[in-house]
Amino acid sequence: MFLRFIEFSWLAGIGVVFLFFAFGIVEMNLVSSQQIVVVGCGRLGTSLHNALVRAGRLCSDGPKGRGENGEGADLVILCVSDRSIQEASEAIDPGPLVVHTSGASALTLLEKHDRRGILHPLLSVPDGSSNFDGAYAAVRTAQLSDQSILLELISDLGMNPLYVKEQDRAIYHAAASLASNALVALQVNASELAAIANVPPAAINKLAQASLDEVGKQGVAALTGPASRGDWQTVAIQRNAVLSATPHLLDLFDATTAECARLAGYSWSAQTIVASERDSSIIIARTVQELTEAIARVCRDGARVGFVPTMGALHMGHAKLIEIAATCCDCVVTSIFVNPKQFESPAKLLAYPRDEVHDLKIAKEAGAAIVFIPSVEDIYPPGFVTSVKPGPIADVLEGEFRPGHFEGMVTVVARLLGLVQADVAFFGHKDAQQLAIIKQLVSDLAIATEVQGVDTVRESDGLAMSSRNVHLSPSNRNRALALSRGLTAASLLAAQGEQNPQKLEQVVLLELEAESLSVDYVSLVDAIDFCNVTTLDRPCVLAVAATVDEVRLIDNISISPLSASL
């Protein structure tokens, strides 16, 4: 009986222990008891071995050299060069989980082993005492059952896991190279420049660390300096200094400046500065202060100042505005500013064409004396919160299809008119609704600038000039002619006495439908308030908007009873 009780007690004890393990009442880390061998005595191998020892993992005595067979090991970590991975893995006897630490190499280099994987620490290892805590590591295993072993290993090292697909391995490693090696190269070169000004490397390194901290918080918004705000005058001064002191770094300076400008929404190249410096007949103002000084210097007391605001991507339509301004004004100021408030999304803002060299050439040849190219911060400085509400006229036609567009437009025009203080500003009739809104703005706010409209400039075949025309293929350009053909037909019909808005609109629609264009609107409206009319008994605008294979175009004609003009 006593023996039976002993037997029962022993069996019950085993059962309780089993239940404890099964339900996690007693925690046992089986992975931590595995024997680990690190192969590779370089910086990574030494650092990883030391870190594993500090984490309490069972490691062999020191990292092993190549040729180690991994006898008795449960996990072998190969910290060798990419070209030595396969050779080192061939020396390992089958059985343990074998992983390499390369971000560039595939699992196939370990094909001798059924249990294989990748553990790539995403950090720089300058010596054998590097700390892995807080770093990330790319993890991949051939067998899902082995993944938990690597996950617990990196957890013990204080690291965070990353999962990179095989097809993404090359781009992942390229990103890692840019973030490490490219950054090192930039820092070394920046320190070389700073040393010329007797600035110690520690100061540059401190700046770089702060920038890295900010980019982690803000992304591209962490950009700072002249290239990020479009201050090309300061960029030109910097570039000349680099060219004089360290000409071998000029290409690097140009490339990084161009990339910073691109990320900030600008288009810049070294040719921009070269062209600007070569051109002494035109003044380029990039800040409000420079604009004020330029106007005071060029447009002397009593001079009549003309103003042509643009968003760049200049064409012959813009040139015509500047030419007309130059014929009736003593001094013409042209602005080039891509207004972010007029775009529905950041993607469309970034996609807007920018070519400063081209724009400056057209502005100069057309007769501009001053070109104002401000940054976003100059137009909308910190604390700028004002918006101009354009009223009901902005709710129809373009306002319906581009919500918020006119509010952004009229706000920036009000700001620019206040900065330039021109006697007269010139706008094209092609944007007839915009022109009407600006006239209302100047009238309502008693702005002392006359607004003058200029007839739409057209190509020889009748297509209204637009910065968007460059996106039309030859075949789609022919289809786009339906807009001007339809408006011409309606104009002729109105000149013959037709006053029915529906019939005039239908003439345009027939041309658009014949080319299978996507139509937003065709509408005959009052020329002042852009309200629909029931008959052509006053000055009106016949406006059209249609899309030709994703390129949206607008056009219009002015129509009066018994007369029409295209």
Instruction: State the Cα–Cα distance between residues 198 and 12, nearest whole angstrom.
Output: 79
Q: Which amino acid is at 244?
A: S
Compute CA 452 distance to the chain's CA centroid, rounded to the nearest angstrom. 36
Q: Give the domain-ending residue among 421, 454, 487.
A: 454
Same domain, 116 and 194: no
Q: Judge whether 249 lies within some domain.
A: no
Q: Judge whether 237 lies within some domain.
A: no
Same domain, 442 and 346: yes
Give residue 273's pLDDT.
Answer: 59
Q: Is 120 an annotated catalytic residue?
A: no
Instruction: State the Cα–Cα distance between residues 442 and 437, nearest whole angstrom.
Output: 9
Q: Name the catalytic one among 100, 173, 318, 405.
A: 318
Structure letter (DSSP) for residue 69: -
Q: Judge whether 253 lies within some domain.
A: no
Q: Tokens 């020892």 sit at which residue?
A: 53
Compute CA 209 distance to the chain's CA centroid, rounded to the nearest angstrom. 23
Structure letter (DSSP) for residue 157: T
Give residue 17's pLDDT.
Answer: 36
Q: Judge whether 230 lies within some domain.
A: no
Instruction: State the Cα–Cα distance between residues 58 and 48, nearest whole angstrom.
Output: 13
Give residue 285's pLDDT.
Answer: 92
Instruction: State the Cα–Cα distance between residues 53 and 64, nearest whole angstrom.
Output: 14
Three-state SS for 139?
strand
Give residue 21's pLDDT.
Answer: 37
pTM: 0.56
Please name the residues in contact with 313: beta carbons below 8 A apart, sequence gap of 6 or more: 352, 353, 354, 355, 359, 467
Backbone angles phi, psi at 98, to 5 degrees: -115, 125
Give residue 30's pLDDT.
Answer: 42
In the sheet that holds 563-565, the strands lie side by side as 518-526, 540-548, 551-560, 563-565
Give residue 149's pLDDT.
Answer: 93
Instruction: State the Cα–Cα distance between residues 269 and 258, nearest whole angstrom.
Output: 6
Same domain, 428 and 514: no
Structure letter (DSSP) for residue 533: -
Q: Which amino acid is at 126?
A: P
Q: Judge whether 247 lies within some domain.
A: no
Q: Judge whether 285 lies within some domain.
A: yes
Same domain, 417 and 321: yes
Cβ proximity of 370 and 298 under 8 Å:
yes
Mean pLDDT for back-to-back runs of 10 residues, the chain (566 residues): 37 39 38 81 91 84 84 93 93 94 92 95 81 91 93 93 90 86 86 86 86 84 84 78 80 89 83 53 89 89 93 95 94 96 85 85 94 93 95 96 95 98 97 97 97 95 93 95 97 94 97 97 97 96 97 96 59
Instruction: State the Cα–Cα distance between residues 566 and 564, nearest whole angstrom.
Output: 7
CA 410, 350, 165, 155 dihedral sign is negative
Q: Judge whether 476 lies within some domain.
A: yes
Structure-token pair, residue 123: 């950090």
Which domain, by its residues, includes 4?
1-30
Same domain, 372 and 391: yes
Same domain, 105 and 40: yes
Return the CATH number at 72. Answer: 3.40.50.720
Return the CATH number at 336. Answer: 3.40.50.620
Same domain, 526 and 537: yes
Same domain, 495 and 450: no
Give residue 274's pLDDT.
Answer: 53
Same domain, 146 and 218: no
The structural domain count of the chain equals 5
Same domain, 535 and 424: no
Return the CATH number at 479. Answer: 3.30.1300.10
Instruction: State the Cα–Cα distance between residues 234 and 170, nearest whole angstrom.
Output: 38
Instruction: State the Cα–Cα distance between residues 141 and 152, nearest whole angstrom.
Output: 13
Instruction: State the Cα–Cα distance between residues 503 and 559, nearest whole angstrom.
Output: 14
Give residue 466's pLDDT.
Answer: 94
Cβ proximity of 545 and 530 under 8 Å:
no
Cβ proximity of 106 and 68 under 8 Å:
no
Same domain, 449 and 345: yes
The helix, strand and coil proportions of the chain, stated in percent and rounded to the nearest 5, come to 50, 15, 35
Q: Is 62 left (phi over 0), alpha (psi -120 to 50) or beta?
A: left
Same domain, 11 and 65: no
